[in-house]
Copies of this chain bind each other. A is one copy, B any other.
């Protein structure tokens, strides 16, 4: 048996289901907040693998012409009132992300959170929350799901820790890039023109 393939299929099937079940109004609101921040600054925040997914999204927002920064990188400037912070944390409890989110609120910036847990510390500080399913470091979001699955004899997830959340976010945010391309009438050529030429 090829475990890599079984696991990859699990990720693909999981992503397909999760994205099918996303709350459309939550997505629309997030798109709206990003478009509204067009002449402001956008800050992406996340630690570890959520952070890498956030950086991949930040790079595309840069391609799209946004003033976007990743929190913790060198040239990240001051956030001001009206700027937008997009914070990504599966558990919603990553301390650095929660701290940054609270700092952003104090300044008057808006916070949009992408997390699995609507009652998490991050979700509570955020102006807008997009609930993204997927197993996280904490395990499955609701224990009853886990028990149900066990009772039903469903096999355990192959994918460790937060991998499913991170893949779901990666695919979703790359979808969002296309949505923004259409909203802002950007062609791929325009994105390419802004892509790093020294790498």
Q: Would you list which residues of chain A between 155 and 199 have a CB under 8 Å from chain B?
A: 158-161, 163, 166-167, 170-172, 174-179, 181-182, 188, 191-199
Among B4, B70, B79, B137, the residue within 8 A (CB) of A27 is B4
Closest to A181 in B: B160
Q: Which chain B positions have C-beta within 8 A of A103?
A: 95, 197-199
A interface residue numbers (CB < 8 A to B)? 2-9, 11-12, 15-16, 19, 24, 27, 31, 43, 45, 47-49, 52-53, 55-56, 58-60, 62-63, 68-80, 85, 94-96, 99-100, 103-104, 107, 109, 137, 158-161, 163, 166-167, 170-172, 174-179, 181-182, 188, 191-199
Among B7, B78, B94, the residue within 8 A (CB) of A177 is B7
Q: Which chain B positions have C-beta within 8 A of A94?
A: 199
Q: Which chain B positions have C-beta within 8 A of A48?
A: 59, 195-196, 199
Q: Which chain B positions have C-beta within 8 A of A55?
A: 52, 74
Pairs of residues from A and B, 4 with the lowest C-beta to C-beta distance, nearest first: A8-B175, A7-B178, A4-B175, A4-B179
Q: Which chain B positions have C-beta within 8 A of A191?
A: 160-161
The answer to whether A2 touches B99, judged by C-beta atoms less than 8 angstroms apart, is: no
